Structure 1
Amino acid sequence: MNVASAYTFAWRNATKIPEPVLRALFTVVADVTWLRHGKSVRRMEQNYARVRPDLDAAAIRRLSRAGMRSYMRYFREAFTLQGITPEQLRARVRVEGYDEHVRPVVDDGGAVSLALGHLGNWDLAGAYGSQYLASVLTVAERLKPDELFEEFVRFRGSLGIDVLALGNGDVLGALIRGAKEGSKLIPLLSDRDLTSTGIEVDLAGHRARVAAGPALLGLEAGVPVHAVGITYERLHGARRRAARTPWGIVIRFYPPLPVPDAALPRDERSRLLTQGWVDQLAETVVEHTHDWHMLQRVFVADLGPARQKAARPRETG
């Protein structure tokens, strides 16, 4: 069974397994992966150590176990998300900052550019957003094999999320056109530079490369840019019974970033907006590090020489 077939099998069959059994199974998978201490876990620990310099090696090791459990929780929920009821979806999500910072724009027919990190369960957040907040348009990394990417697109489409493939034509242009249609949330996973053409920023005291998408969309479409932090929380009482699971998520919408002076060069305006949302998102990353599912290189010091050299021309602003 190839990877695409395995994902398809999981999406079609996970809902048939009782929640407690599935939860226990994915916890075992997380713990075994953590115990093996492979390349991905070691990278997670290196990333965690950079954003949490207050912790010693033993504490980082313990934190990475919680991180792997959080990561596997994301997959378990993703495989069963298509089978939950609207009542369960509503019970699993708590929103902060939307009414103050975003709703006025959306209710007035506008769109917002949302900078997300690989935090919590962004698919659950997207499903909730499309059902209860506004239309959702996003971009997804094109995965290999193609069948796997198509499965992800179908999955997110079933949740009400419109997906553009990164690398398929003028993605930024399509996002701008989508933003101008109005009343739309455009969340972009941006805490990792997938193209080597991102922007260098300070992330929790270390230089890192992140995607330019949220800032460019904000500048080109003239829409507000916000960071959004998504983290897990334990559920109790009536909400837990309604959710049919012990875990829910909190979606925190940060205030809109100030619009940079139009007299500044475009690259500088993009850099300022990007550093702004990174500063906001870093609060969530530091406070809820175990919910940051970053198993790849993001910090400049960890990039290979070729990627550092390729990125260098973008640093001038």
Structure 2
Amino acid sequence: MSAEPVAPADAGSTAVPPGPGLRARTAAWATDLGFAAGWGAVKLLPEPVARGGFDAAGRWAAGRDGRGVRQLRANLRVVTGGRLTEGELDALTRRAVRSYARYWQEAFRLPRLRSDRIVAGTEVVGADHVRRARDEGRGLVMVLPHSGNWDAAGVWFVDFLGGPFLTVAERLRPESLYRRFLAYRESLGMRVVPLTGGPRPSTEVLREWLADGGVTCLLVDRNLGTGGVPVSFFGRTATMPGGAALLAAQTGAALIPTVCQFTDRGWRLTFSPEVPVGGSGRLRDRVGAAMQGVADAFADGIARRPEDWHVLGRIWADVPPDPGAAPASSPSRTGPEPG
């Protein structure tokens, strides 16, 4: 499983290179069929049945202990500061995979849920940070990690704003899959601009939107492209895309870290204070300092409920996936699987 196809494009990430081979095209076609089945069938299931089925799938995926789950465990070891025993870390990882499965179950069912139910079921912390910037007539650059259900948070935010916000989506293959996600997000009240392949560059559209007092939401805890801004994240060096901070600096919009999490009855949305990006000094240095502020806010929120951080990919260069179980014929093996 991967969170990336259902997330808005990470600010500053790069598009998938052109010219996929037969294997890639076949995989993309199969993925499209899977999502079509999800939106066509899962949303028709009674909610308890869908919830139970996806929870069972999460348990199964955790027990299978594939590469993504082992990377998630390694990431959570960093997040928890190495304080957990291996048994405690395994239990946390299982909860995290089940949380991820809950995200997918909700993603398939959100279009049929009433927005007032989502709004009523969302706990909000720090809304004054958002209201202050809106009262000043400024745009907002909301930056999020891959935590909780950012789509449900988007429904709450559209209701709060009284209108849509703008986000960016990677151009997925096949085109029909991209169109499905475009229709899905637009059905939730969002506006989506493609990262690449649109009539105008996405950064140009975002700048104009923000300069007019608009709002954009971008996922920035994973840098999928080259470069990026180096930050200290849970005490280790990582890179995050700096495009969100750059947009805030160029337009005067407020840069506000936002962490989404689950609760037993719904969702929690925590807004942190605005991260400053203006002032004197070189723009590059101001963007770097701002992204460090974002990383610090993310770390604080994620540490409060780490099981809702859905990152099954590599974040830190020196943190590979945990090793898999050694085959019976090779009990001494300790390294990670190749590839």
Band the TM-score falls in, shorter-chain normalisation:
0.7 to 0.9
Match of 1:162 among 164, 187, 191: 191
Distance across 1 between alignment mates of 2:89 and 2:173: 32
Aligned to 2:273: 255
SS in 1 for 2:226: coil
Distance across 1 between alignment mates of 2:196 and 2:292: 24
Moved more, 168-177 or 64-73: 168-177
Q: Is the 8 A contact 1:188 1:213 kept in 2?
A: no
Q: Is the 8 A contact 1:139 1:166 kept in 2?
A: yes
Alpha-carbon shift at residue 106 of structure 1 (Å) = 2.0
Aligned to 1:310: none
Aligned to 2:305: 288
Q: Is the 8 A contact 1:260 1:273 kept in 2?
A: no
Moved more, 142-151 or 216-225: 142-151
Per the normalisation by structure 1, the TM-score is 0.87
SS in 1 for 2:165: strand
Q: Are 2:40 and 1:6 equivalent residues in the alignment? A: no
Deviations 1:83-121 (A, max 9, x none): 0113312222121111x2111322443211111000000
Q: Are 2:286 and 1:269 equivalent residues in the alignment? A: yes
Q: Is the 8 A contact 1:230 1:252 kept in 2?
A: yes
Per the normalisation by structure 2, the TM-score is 0.81
Distance across 2 between alignment mates of 1:204 and 1:181: 35
Same amino acid, percent of matched pairs: 31
Aligned to 1:218: 248
Q: How does 1:116-131 map to 2 (within 5 A)?
A: 116-131=144-159
Q: How many residues align?
A: 288
Alpha-carbon shift at residue 260 of structure 1 (Å) = 4.4
SS in 2 for 1:301: coil
Distance across 2 between alignment mates of 1:194 and 1:142: 14
Q: How does 1:104-143 map to 2 (within 5 A)?
A: 104-134=132-162, 135-143=164-172
Q: Are 2:217 and 1:187 equivalent residues in the alignment? A: yes
Distance across 2 between alignment mates of 1:108 and 1:255: 15
Aligned to 1:239: none
Amino acid at match of 1:217: L
Amino acid at match of 1:177: E
Distance across 1 between alignment mates of 2:43 and 2:201: 37
Q: Is the 8 A contact 1:209 1:300 kept in 2?
A: no
SS in 2 for 1:2: helix
Alpha-carbon shift at residue 255 of structure 1 (Å) = 0.5
Alpha-carbon shift at residue 131 of structure 1 (Å) = 2.2
Q: Are 2:94 and 1:65 equivalent residues in the alignment? A: yes
Amino acid at match of 2:86: A
Aligned to 1:33: 61
SS in 1 for 2:263: strand
Q: Is the 8 A contact 2:74 2:319 kept in 1?
A: no
Alpha-carbon shift at residue 223 of structure 1 (Å) = 1.0
Gaps of 5+ in 2: 1-28, 321-339
RMSD of aligned alpha carbons: 1.6
SS in 1 for 2:318: helix
SS in 1 for 2:313: coil
Q: Is the 8 A contact 1:142 1:149 kept in 2?
A: yes
Alpha-carbon shift at residue 172 of structure 1 (Å) = 1.8
Amino acid at match of 1:257: V
Aligned to 2:206: 175
SS in 2 for 1:259: coil
Q: Is the 8 A contact 1:138 1:161 kept in 2?
A: yes
Moved more, 275-284 or 167-176: 167-176
Amino acid at match of 1:185: V
Aligned to 2:329: none
Alpha-carbon shift at residue 197 of structure 1 (Å) = 2.4
Distance across 2 between alignment mates of 1:209 and 1:47: 15
Greater fraction of residues in helix? 1
Superposition misfits of 4+ residues, deviation over 6 angstroms: none
